[in-house]
Structure 1
């Protein structure tokens, strides 16, 4: 069982990386092999629209995306992470998504894998929902099965979305915190890690049963 985390933040090792790390840590505790990739540490060029991938599952460009594509093919689950930039994913994450076109145009090579996403932002209800939606659409394009985690108990939020907003002071001014202190988001992230492994195992078992009865 392999779960691959892909961080689209321009700043490796910061809040978004920590939130993604919580997902992977929980998945690892459930027995999965995990790996976290920082897009900021890779050399990935822009898709140039050459349409090579319309005829075969290959890209005309060759850079670190070659290695990342193989990691995605081998993974049972993929988790995307991005901070909110102008109510969407980062340009780095968008460029990565476009470079996965060869996995989609001929046949959906990632079909049936499980997926999940986490996001960070400065403020609540200020674009983070659209950031999550952009990642969810990427999963849908590749026919992946998206996990929407919810820890047991009362609803604390809509997904693993950590923000730096901690409320207002007596004068109505914002109180800021590190996104790493968003306890509800990190609880959801850990739930996501466990749920990803659980769903992937169920799917693996179903496929094994199907193969045995053929």
Structure 2
């Protein structure tokens, strides 16, 4: 059983990657195999709206790396998507990836029944995380995925996904930020819960 993480950040190994790695570490602790994919390592061309995928589960664009990503998603039992927030939305790289994943959806929902999860990050505490998270959740639901949450046994964090920030406080009109999302304890707890919940759901579905 495997959970794949897909990072749509334009900056590899930074805050969104750290959130995704926290999700994966918790999933690994539950006995699930994991892999992190950085979309910046792959060439992804824009969808040209040729609609070939309406008739065959394939894309007309053959000279980039999307076929590799299709196979990784097909082989995974669960997929967690991550993106920093750009104007209350996902990054352009993540949006191109989403658009190009139409071949997995139009003829048949090839991701149907797979476990999904999402993490987002913005510098500000109220920096558009909720909308970016809703966009990723809507994408997963459209693909027929079973969207997992970060809900835990105790109260305090109840989101359909994990939201991180570097915002710390605002005193006398001056905002203070931490250096890394790893200093955001709420976000890390949320990521850990998401990883645990995804792993448990993947294992339960695999046992059925």
Query: Shorter-chain TM-score: what band?
Result: over 0.9
> Post-superposition shift, 1:152?
3.2
Instruction: Quote the Cα distance in structure 2 between the aligned partners of 1:99 and 1:136.
Output: 17
Rounded to whole Å, the distance in 2 between the matches of 1:204 and 1:32 is 11
**Rg larger in 1 or in 2?**
1
Distance in 1 of aligned mates of 2:127 and 2:65: 33
Q: Which residue of 2 aligns with 1:2?
A: 2
* Correspondence list, 1:1-214, <5 A: 1-62=1-62, 63-156=64-157, 158=159, 159-169=161-171, 171-177=172-178, 178-206=180-208
CA shift digits 1:154-191 (9 cap, x unpaired): 3146341110110112x131111122211111111011
Structure 1, unpaired ranges of 5+:
207-214
Contact conserved, 1:157 with 1:184, CA < 8 A, in 2?
Answer: no
For residue 203 of structure 1, give the secondary structure of its aligned residue in structure 2: helix
Shift of 1:102: 0.3
> How many angstroms apart in 1 are the aligned matches of 2:18 and 2:101?
25
TM-score, normalised relative to structure 1 = 0.93
The alpha carbon displacement at 1:29 in A equals 1.1
TM-score (norm 2): 0.95
Contact 1:22 1:193 in 2 (8 A): yes
In 2: Cα distance, 1:188 partner to 1:151 partner: 9
Residues 113-166 of structure 1, C-alpha deviations (whole Å, 9 max, x = no match)? 000000100112231100101100110110000001123323146341110110
Q: Counterparts of 2:142 and 2:151 in 1: how far apart (Å)?
A: 24
Matched residue SS, 1:192: helix
Q: Distance in 2 between matches of 1:87 and 1:164?
A: 16
Please list every run of at least 4 consecutive aligned residues from structure 1 whose deviation after the TM superposition is greater than 3 angstroms.
Answer: 156-159
Equivalenced residues, count: 205
C-alpha separation in 1, matches of 2:158 and 2:125: 10
Structure 2's unaligned 5+ residue stretches are none
Q: Over residues 10-49 of structure 1, what are the superposed CA-to-partner deviations in whole Å (9 max), with x where a residue is unaligned?
A: 0000011000000011111111110000001111111111
Deviation at 1:194, TM superposition (A): 1.1
Q: In the alignment, is the contact (CA less than 8 A) between 1:116 and 1:192 conserved in 2?
A: yes
